[in-house]
Amino acid sequence: MQPPELNAFNDIVVIGAGIVGLSVALQLHLDGYKVTVIDQSPPMVGCSAGNAGYLSQANIFPPATPDLLLKMPKLLMDKQGPLVIKPSYFGKMVPWALRAVSTLKPAPYAKTVNALSSLITRSQDSLSNLAGQANAAHLLTKEGGLIAFRTQSAFTARQKALPIWRDHGIDVTTLSREETLGLEPALAPDTVGSIHFKNSGRCSDPQGLGLLYAQHLAKGGARFIRDKVISIKQAEMGGWKVAMTTQNLHTPKVVVCAGHASDELLAGFGYRKALVSERGYHLMLPSSGISLTRPVVFGEPYFAATPMLHGLRLAGTAEFCSASAPPNMDRSYMLGNLAKQYLPGLNLEGAEPWMGVRPSLPDGLPAIGQIERSAGFFYAFGHGHNGLMTSAITAKCVSELISARQTTVDITPFDLKRFG
C-alpha cells in the first residue's frame, strides 16, 4: 500500500525542529510564508535542548588550530580531558580530520575566520529580534563572558588571539586576578586572570526559547508533522516529494535543517558527506551553591559554566563516536569534578546529566545554501558549537535566499560544495 500523499504546495517545508530549523521556520512565517515543520521527535528535544547557553563572541576560529594539534596526543590520552575519539570511529574521523587540518594554511584559515565572524558578530542582534517576535526576548541577556585561567602559561597562550578578535570588531580585554574575582567572587583564589568579552551574552533556557518559537508558529497556523523523513526527490508534477515513514508530502520548496541527519538526505544530490557526530555532554546543577553573573569558560579544560533559569549548566565536551552509541554519562559527571577546581564552593548534589549529538563540519563553518540545479531545495545545518548563537542570522539568510533577496551575510563560504 502506498503511503498517503499530503499536499503542501503553498508551503515551505522545513525538515528539523531543533533551534536552527525552528528559527528558519519562524523567520519564514514572519516573512509571510506558510510553513510545515517535519521531525520525528517533538521540537527541541535534540542537541539544541542541552546547549551551553553561552552566546560567545569568542567562537570565530575553526576547530583545528596549531595549538590544538600540538596538544592532541595528550588530550586523547587524558580520560578527564575535553576530547574523546572512540577507536571504532577513527575510520570516519580520518577524512574529517584531514579536511580540518587543511584549514590551517594561512589563506584558508583567514577566510574561515572572516566567514565565521561575519555570522558571529551579527548573531546577537538577529537573535534578539527573532526572539522578540515570539515573546521570548526575556530569555536573552548580555552581561558579557569570561575565560578564566588557573595557570599563567595557558593565560598567556590564549592572549595570542586578542589581535584577531579585535580586528573583527570584538570588544575583548584581559583582566587581572583581582579584577576577575571582583566580577565573579565564586572563582577559585588561585585564578591568575581572565579574558573578558564585554558584549557576549547568554540564553537562560535554550530549550524554552525554541519551544516558544514552536508555540508562536503553531498559533500562527504552521503545521507540525511528527514523522521520519526517508528521502527528498523531485516530483514529476514539479516541486519536491518528501517521503516519510507513514506518508508522503508534495511541496514546492524544502529546507533541510536536520542536524547530523542532513548528510543522508543530501547524499543523492552529488555532495560528499562531511559531517561527523560530535556528542556533547552537560551537567545541570539545580542547587549549585554558588553564584555566577555571567558565563565563565574554564581556560585549561575549556568548558563553560552558565547560570540558567533552572540552575547552573556545565557544558562543552566533545566525544566523536557513532550518534547511536550508548551515552557515557561519566563524561557529564566529570565536568562537575573539574569545575570544582575553578568553583570551590560548587555543590553537585542533585546533578542531572545529559548528552546530545552536534552536527560538526571540519572547517567549523555551517552549511547554508541552495542545492545546485535544484530550484526550491535549500539547506542550513552543521553549526557545531554555534547553533544557538547563529540560529537567527542563519534563518534570516535562508529567508532572504528563498525570496531571491541579497543576503545580510555573504553565504558563499558556507556552500556545501566546498567539500566536493
Same domain, 237 and 280: no
In the chain, the number of structural domains is: 2
- pLDDT at position 409: 97
Q: Write the pLDDT tens digit of every residue in 78-124.
A: 666 667 778 788 888 888 888 888 888 889 999 999 999 999 999 99
Question: Does a structural domain hold residue 300?
Answer: yes
| Mean pLDDT of the chain, nearest integer | 92
User: Domain check: are 286 and 400 in the same one?
Assistant: no
289 and 338 housed in the same domain: yes
Enumerate residues 6+ apart whose C-beta is below 8 A from 78. none
Residues 90, 190 within the same domain: yes
Write out pLDDT tens, residues 180-209: 999 999 999 999 999 999 999 999 999 999
Q: Is the pLDDT of residue 1 over 50?
A: no
For range 318-333, the mean pLDDT: 91
Distance CA 278, CA 64 (A): 14
b/e per residue, 265-297, with b = 16+ CB within 10 A? Answer: bbeeeebeebbbbbbbbbbbbeebebebebbbb
Mean predicted confidence (pLDDT) in 231-245: 92
Task: Please check whether residues 77 and 154 belong to one and the same domain.
Answer: yes
Band (75; pLDDT cuts 50, 70, 90): low
Residues 401/370, Cβ–Cβ less than 8 Å = yes
Instruction: Specify if 332 maps to a domain.
Output: yes
- 38 domain-assigned: yes
DSSP at 276 = E
Q: Are residues 96 and 174 in the same domain?
A: yes
Query: Cα(106)–Cα(261) distance, rounded to whole angstroms?
Result: 32
Do the domain assignments include residue 133?
no
pLDDT tens per residue across span 140-171: 999 999 999 999 999 999 999 999 999 999 99
Give alpha helix (H) positions in 134-228: 152-158, 162-167, 177-183, 206-219
The gap between the terminal CA atoms of the chain, to the nearest Å, is 38
- CA-closest candidate to residue 240, choices 78, 64, 15, 61: 15
CATH number, domain of 222, equals: 3.50.50.60
The set of cell numbers assigned to 337 is 569534578
CA distance 412 to 32: 25
CA angle 123, 126, 130 (to 5 degrees): 135
Which long-range contacts link 230-235 to residues 24+ away (Cβ below 8 Å)? 231/265, 231/268, 232/15, 232/256, 232/265, 232/377, 233/268, 234/374
288 — pLDDT class (breaks 50, 70, 90) = very high
Assess whether 224 and 241 both reside in one domain: yes
For residue 66, pLDDT beyond 80: no
Q: Supply the range of the domain harboring residue 332.
A: 58-103+141-198+275-360
- How many CB atoms lie under 10 A from the CB of residue 240? 20
Same domain, 409 and 282: no
